[in-house]
Amino acid sequence: MKYALLLAFNAALAASVAFAKPPVDIEPPAPTAEIKASRATAQQFGATLKEALQQAVKTGGPVSGIEVCHGQAAQIADKLSTEREMLVGRTSLKVRNPSNAPDNWELAVLKQFDARKAQGEPVDKLEFFAVIDDDQGQKTFRYMKAIPTASLCLSCHGDTIPPEVEAQLKALYPDDKARGFKEGDLRGAFTLAKPVP
């Protein structure tokens, strides 16, 4: 009897997890063009940012890195958006810049990433995609890829932020929530969108 109950509970849990998953498999046998393009774009965005950040921190310390994240991140995103013909950005459950705040769909996906991480999935493998109707009723392909927290990120997003970085962050982001992260935490996600004809 107990076992049957447990089975029923497991089935209910599986159903609720299945509900949170996309209508297609997470790893379909043959990724569609949109999925392939999204993976490549997210990968390029991440690599370009990390390289610029590493370079800036190496030559001018973490304060120079702020300029990369503050100004260059948006420029890189704009450039990629034009080149790849898809909207490219970053978001998080705890944002530094309020303009990166998630919309409802992104919020649900970020929470789903958190839950999947808690179940043991590696953060750097978490992705999700779906075709949804946007606010204007436009069919849109949307894709998100999780961003793990690396040690490089901690001087600006960790528990102990150097005073000179702290001063800059306070001036630029009075409502900063993007701190207190530890290595391996889910820092946020790349988020991509492309209208579907």
DSSP character at residue 102: -
Structure tokens of 4? 């049957």
Q: Shortest gap between Cβ of 146 and ligand HEC (angstroms)?
A: 10
Report the alpha-carbon distance of residue 48 to residue 181 in Å, rounded. Answer: 22
117 touches ligand HEC (CB under 6 A):
no
Beta strands in the chain (DSSP E): 87-91, 127-133, 139-148, 186-195
Supply 105's token pair.
């769909």
Report whether 157 contacts 81 (CB < 8 A). no
178 in contact with ligand HEC (CB under 6 A): yes
CB atoms within 10 A of CB 108: 13
Interface pattern 154-173 for ligand HEC (x via CB under 6 A): -xxx----------------
Nearer to ligand HEC, 88 or 188 (CB): 188
The one segment of 2-10, 24-32, 89-97, 107-115 that binds ligand HEC by CB under 6 A: 89-97
Please state the closest distance from residue 175 (CB atom) to ligand HEC, in A. Answer: 10
Chain positions contacting ligand HEC, by CB under 6 A:
50, 53, 62, 65-66, 69-70, 73, 90, 92, 95-97, 100, 147, 149-150, 152-153, 155-157, 178, 187-188
